[in-house]
Chain A
Amino acid sequence: MNFTIFGFLIQNTLSTGAIYILLALTLVSVATVTRIIYVPIGEIMVFAPFSLSLLMQGQMPGPVWLLLIIGVLALAMDGVEMLRQRSRHGWRKALLLYLVMPLVIAAGTWAATGADIPFLIKLAAACAAPVALNPVLFRIAFQPLASATRLILLIASIALHFALAGLGLYMFGPSGLRTPGLNSVAFRLGRIPFNDQFLLITGASIALIAGLYLFFGFTLYGKALRATAIHRRGARLVGIDTDNAAQLIFTIAGVVAAISGILIGPITTLYYDSGFLLGLKGFAGAILGGLADYPMAALGALSLAGFESFSSFYASEYKDVIVFALLIPILLYRSWRQPAHVEEENFE
């Protein structure tokens, strides 16, 4: 390996690492607030760049239709719930989140199919439906399971992943997608060139992480989410609606996933089912931090990206084997550190 290749691999590590960190942090926060391991985040992640590609071709992306359909479903579920409880509590939110917003997004996306629409507007339109899907998916898939164990929630999460991956194939077809990136050289470090896309990915990731930090640390909603993460029942007692909190964190997860998908589009070929593996790798990083520790999760995600980049150079055939087989010693290490975990689960 020469210095240029080494530099290239480092650059690759930092770019994919930034994406894995974003996914890891998001998955950890969703898991702590809702107890759900949000496997379908991978699907949401690829929905955005595929939607963008369709919009650029002047077509209406599939996730918009999906949003309209499950919005109606969620509205119906809320309606049944209201009838059963003989209460109209929450009808404004239901109408807004499940009917008005999907319609607005559909109209906006339709308007953005025009050829002369600026790129940034198309970008926003492409992300809108994939982001808005998340709180609605929470309503239909997870909210009815509020009292279920973590294990049931995980099975539901995998079932949702299965269905969304199937829909992804239908909406985007089996062929791969590689969006154009910013390939001009931004600066050189010694002899290693770093391009604009690298700057964009790392810059956007740092900005997002800073944004999340400010949100969780300094806003009332962020604090409510942290309270829910620490103690669900306690949070409910002080008046935090844990379902709303969950929908909020799902929406945030959607934003991060959609942006990650757009960012990663130019550096790897995406398929309708690529998101699953990407999400899983972010998750593997998160496990390093035991699903609770943010700096450790970020560090884990970064080292995973490093392993992946360098093993793809030395043994590309075994790249994914190495990355996932790595999880097992990590788990071994964690199981030595907290042998009492089994008992903890029973307090749920």
Chain B
Amino acid sequence: MSKLRAAQILGLAAFVLAPAYLGAYPIGVLDYILVSAIIAIGLVLLTGIIGMVSLGQAGFAGLGAYTAAYAAVNWGVNPWLTLPIGLAASAVGAAIIGGVTLRMSGQFLVLATLAWGISFFYLAGALPMFGGQNGFGNIPSLAVPGLVLDTDRSVYLVMLASLLIVVWMSVNLLDSTLGRMIRSLRYGTAIGESSGADTFALRLTVFIIAGTFAGFSGWLYTFLLHFIDPGAFSLDNGIQYLFMAVIGGVSNVWGGLLGAAAYTITDRFLSGYVQQFFGQTFNISAIFFGVVMLILLQTARGGIWPFLAGFYRPKPAKVAPLAPPDRAVMPEPGSLVLRVENAVKRFQGLVAVNNLSFDVDAGRIQALIGPNGAGKSTMFNLITGILGVTSGKISFLGETISTKTSREIARLGVGRTFQHVKLVPTMTVLENAAVGGYLRHRSGLFTTMLRLNRRREAQALAEAAYQLERVGLLGSQSELASSLSLGQQRILEIARALAGNPILLLLDEPAAGLRANEKQQLGELLLQLRAEGMTILLVEHDMAFIRQVADRVVVVQYGEKLTEGSVADMQQNQKVREAYLGVD
């Protein structure tokens, strides 16, 4: 047994046995920490993992709490059975608020959640059915056979078990195909959409998970206190939960628990002991935490977690490569794969692509070359659906794709890399490669969170390792993507695209930043992919590299096609020489 595992077991035992050795007051504080931590963990997923901030979590907690309390008191529903009712209420609330606002940038989302938080507070205070400002009392207790859980001590294990479930489910989610895609969302939607993921749906899913966690916490709070009022779910509380998450550290699920503990204990200390020196009109907690947050944001934005993470860094196990059991069915060599017909793209006055037409045939490596600003990357973005054509038509295997979205095109079997590398810097090389296999390996949300898909997940990583082996990066699989050189990062993008099992591969300047021998290896890889039947379209400036791999070249200048033909033809072509070197 490792030291880490021993420490984990000791820590868990200390928590489980807490009611046996702690007094009434500390148990009460501990209950409150656990309840708050569940909301803070939801915020970690939201803030730290996908980069969105919500100030309305107290409102979602209130939604769960009030619904459960209402069902228990007015309908006489067994307290345990009010849990699904409360969770459903907060999930629906989060789905509505998120559905309305998640398309907007982070700031608008924050303001919407803020408006929601305030609205909930006033609404709960105004509705007579919820007791108005006086609140809702006489809420029955949870009970197990032979024991009514009506004290802080007796209900403690319910709190602890709830927290552990939430942590376990969150960790399972993040360590999965679904979770890796979710972790990429912080770095924009391009990675996800080009791998076939519906990034909006994923963002909404995380928002709903965070809201449901908040509702879970509200439910626990209801049966901990047996009394709820609007004050417990005010905007100030919503802000405090965000403070907890930031103080604990939003980069890790455990940061939520750390933050809840640090915040709650400090708050109790300040309002219990220090307050008396200043009198009642000095809200020392608000001032203290406001200032602490400002200092943290300026000096240690990662919160407490990174300082402890040094002791807790499990080395990821090496994954052995395994070839995918199935391959994409490649079209007959020489048949038409991609056809661009009279494509035009205008950005207001600027015509970036003007009436461009060309074909790409199966099993060929075709290069798109031209001076800087010729419209090559724009053409790539038109093919992959990141930009829409102004006019013209693009078809893939006979199907029109110029009206489809990025992810629909990706699902048809078009993989791509980017001119400006787009990787998730905080994930390992292996995890980044696995992102590309999202469509092949993802499981449902509940399957993932309950860890029922381990074999599928293992397969996803083994296939990602196989792609790394193909491109020659298997040795660096456990390193962070950000530690690779720029050239290697480009290669990693190719591995990611390959993990999606594409028919057509679009590579935007794959050789830029590579050393001579790396270029050689890349060229060999592309030739091998071609031998397997893959079709490749690439933008490149390196003529030696193009000579090594390309079957055919299309030359573009000022958004228009100058000429096309074999590499040798192009080198002799006077117009091409003029375009690159100027008229002599």
- Of the listed stretches B20-28, B287-295, B530-538, chain A binds B287-295
Q: Mark A318-331, 1 if CB is under 8 A from B, else 0.
A: 11110011011001
Query: Is A344 part of the binding interface, using a Cβ–Cβ cutoff of 8 Å?
Result: yes
Q: Is the CB of B294 within 8 A of A324?
A: no
Minimum Cβ distance to chain A for residue B327 (Å) = 34
Q: Mark B267-289, 1 if CB is under 8 A from A, else 0.
A: 00000000000100111111101
List residues of chain B with CB within 8 A of the CB of A159.
243, 289-291, 293-294, 297
Q: Is the CB of B242 within 8 A of A155?
A: yes
Query: Is A339 part of the binding interface, using a Cβ–Cβ cutoff of 8 Å?
Result: yes
- Most B CB contacts (10 A, CB to CB) among A164, A280, A324, A328 go to A324
Q: Is the CB of B53 within 8 A of A328?
A: no
Query: Is A160 part of the binding interface, using a Cβ–Cβ cutoff of 8 Å?
Result: yes
Q: Is the CB of B243 within 8 A of A169?
A: no
- Of the listed stretches A18-26, A123-131, A143-151, chain B binds A143-151
Given contacts A163-B290, A280-B114, A283-B111, contact A331 B105 (CB under 8 A): no
Contacting B111 at CB < 8 Å: which of A141, A145, A148, A327? Answer: A327
List residues of chain B with CB within 8 A of the CB of A321.
119, 122-123, 126
Query: Is B55 part of the binding interface, using a Cβ–Cβ cutoff of 8 Å?
Result: yes
The secondary-structure label for the interface of chain B is helix
A154 to B105, CA, bound (A): 13
Please name the residue on chain A nearest to B289 by beta carbon.
Answer: A162
Query: Is A156 part of the binding interface, using a Cβ–Cβ cutoff of 8 Å?
Result: yes
List residues of chain B with CB within 8 A of the CB of A145.
297-298
A163 to B122, CA, bound (A): 23
List residues of chain B with CB within 8 A of the CB of A342.
103-105, 188-189
List residues of chain B with CB within 8 A of the CB of A287.
108, 111
In chain B, positions 111-129 with a C-beta closer than 8 Å to chain A are 111-112, 114-116, 118-119, 122-123, 126
In chain A, positions 29-82 with a C-beta closer than 8 Å to chain B are 37
Contacting B112 at CB < 8 Å: which of A174, A277, A327, A338? Answer: A327
Q: Is the CB of B188 within 8 A of A346?
A: yes
Q: Is the CB of B100 within 8 A of A166?
A: no
CB < 8 Å A-B pair total: 148
Query: Is A165 part of the binding interface, using a Cβ–Cβ cutoff of 8 Å?
Result: yes
Q: Is the CB of B281 within 8 A of A173?
A: yes
List residues of chain B with CB within 8 A of the CB of A283.
111
Minimum Cβ distance to chain B for residue A346 (Å) = 5
Q: Is the CB of A318 within 8 A of B286?
A: no
List residues of chain A with CB within 8 A of the CB of B187.
346
Q: Mark B318-347, 1 if CB is under 8 A from A, else 0.
A: 000000000000000000000000000000
- Most B CB contacts (10 A, CB to CB) among A140, A163, A346 go to A163
A164 to B291, CA, bound (A): 9
In chain A, positions 99-122 with a C-beta closer than 8 Å to chain B are none
Q: Is the CB of B53 within 8 A of A320?
A: no
Contacting A320 at CB < 8 Å: which of B97, B118, B290? Answer: B118
Please name the residue on chain A nearest to B120 by beta carbon.
Answer: A321
Query: Is A334 part of the binding interface, using a Cβ–Cβ cutoff of 8 Å?
Result: yes
Query: Is B482 part of the binding interface, using a Cβ–Cβ cutoff of 8 Å?
Result: no
Q: Is the CB of A335 within 8 A of B293?
A: no
Query: Is B101 part of the binding interface, using a Cβ–Cβ cutoff of 8 Å?
Result: yes
In chain A, positions 300-347 with a C-beta closer than 8 Å to chain B are 317-321, 324-325, 327-328, 331-332, 334-335, 338-339, 341-346
Contacting B106 at CB < 8 Å: which of A173, A319, A345? Answer: A345
Query: Is A132 part of the binding interface, using a Cβ–Cβ cutoff of 8 Å?
Result: no
Please name the residue on chain B nearest to A163 by beta carbon.
Answer: B290
A20 to B293, CA, bound (A): 29
Minimum Cβ distance to chain A for residue B66 (Å) = 15
Minimum Cβ distance to chain B for residue A327 (Å) = 4
Query: Is B301 part of the binding interface, using a Cβ–Cβ cutoff of 8 Å?
Result: yes
A239 to B126, CA, bound (A): 54
A199 to B290, CA, bound (A): 39
Please name the residue on chain A nearest to B106 by beta carbon.
Answer: A151
Minimum Cβ distance to chain B for residue A295 (Å) = 20
Q: Is the CB of B298 within 8 A of A345?
A: no
Contacting A341 at CB < 8 Å: which of B105, B112, B290? Answer: B105
Q: Is the CB of B126 within 8 A of A317?
A: yes
Q: Is the CB of A166 within 8 A of B283?
A: yes
Contacting B104 at CB < 8 Å: which of A144, A152, A327, A334? Answer: A334
Q: Is the CB of A167 within 8 A of B287?
A: yes
Query: Is B570 part of the binding interface, using a Cβ–Cβ cutoff of 8 Å?
Result: no
Q: Is the CB of A284 within 8 A of B115?
A: yes
Query: Is B521 part of the binding interface, using a Cβ–Cβ cutoff of 8 Å?
Result: no
Given contacts A154-B53, A163-B290, A324-B115, contact A344 B246 (CB under 8 A): no
Contacting B294 at CB < 8 Å: which of A141, A154, A325, A339? Answer: A141
Contacting B122 at CB < 8 Å: which of A151, A174, A320? Answer: A320
Query: Is A170 part of the binding interface, using a Cβ–Cβ cutoff of 8 Å?
Result: yes
Q: Is the CB of A328 within 8 A of B100?
A: yes
Query: Is A209 part of the binding interface, using a Cβ–Cβ cutoff of 8 Å?
Result: no
Given contacts A151-B51, A169-B283, A332-B100, contact A164 B122 (CB under 8 A): no
Query: Is A158 part of the binding interface, using a Cβ–Cβ cutoff of 8 Å?
Result: yes
Q: Is the CB of B126 within 8 A of A163?
A: no
Q: Is the CB of A324 within 8 A of B118?
A: yes
Given contacts A145-B297, A318-B126, A332-B100, contact A325 B105 (CB under 8 A): no
A164 to B103, CA, bound (A): 32
Minimum Cβ distance to chain A for residue B261 (Å) = 20
Minimum Cβ distance to chain A for residue B420 (Å) = 11
Minimum Cβ distance to chain B for residue A96 (Å) = 24
List residues of chain A with CB within 8 A of the CB of B101.
328, 331-332, 335
Please name the residue on chain A nearest to B187 by beta carbon.
Answer: A346
Q: Mark A271-315, 1 if CB is under 8 A from B, else 0.
A: 000000100100110010001000000000000000000000000
Minimum Cβ distance to chain A for residue B207 (Å) = 14
Q: Mark B43-84, 1 if CB is under 8 A from A, else 0.
A: 000000001010100000000000000000000000000000
Given contacts A167-B287, A321-B122, A331-B112, contact A341 B104 (CB under 8 A): yes
Given contacts A169-B281, A331-B112, contact A163 B291 (CB under 8 A): yes
Q: Is the CB of B115 within 8 A of A325?
A: yes
List residues of chain A with CB within 8 A of the CB of B103.
335, 339, 341-342
A221 to B283, CA, bound (A): 40
A21 to B168, CA, bound (A): 49
Minimum Cβ distance to chain B for residue A239 (Å) = 27
A174 to B281, CA, bound (A): 7
List residues of chain A with CB within 8 A of the CB of B289.
159, 162-163
Please name the residue on chain B nearest to A315 by beta carbon.
Answer: B126
Minimum Cβ distance to chain B for residue A269 (Å) = 17
Q: Residues on A close to B: CB < 8 A?
A: 37, 140-141, 144-145, 148-152, 154-156, 158-167, 169-170, 173-174, 277, 280, 283-284, 287, 291, 317-321, 324-325, 327-328, 331-332, 334-335, 338-339, 341-346
Beyond the given A151-B107, A321-B119, A328-B100, please list 17 additional residue pairs across the A-B interface where CB-CB is below 8 A. A151-B51, A151-B106, A154-B107, A155-B297, A159-B289, A160-B294, A162-B286, A165-B283, A283-B111, A287-B108, A320-B119, A324-B115, A327-B111, A331-B104, A342-B105, A342-B189, A345-B105
- Give 15 pairs: A residue, B residue, CB < 8 Å, sorted on A: A140-B294, A150-B107, A155-B297, A158-B242, A159-B293, A159-B297, A162-B239, A166-B285, A166-B287, A280-B114, A287-B108, A335-B103, A342-B188, A342-B189, A345-B106
Q: Residues on B close to A: CB < 8 A?
A: 51, 53, 55, 97, 100-101, 103-108, 110-112, 114-116, 118-119, 122-123, 126, 187-189, 239, 242-243, 246, 278, 281-287, 289-291, 293-294, 297-298, 301
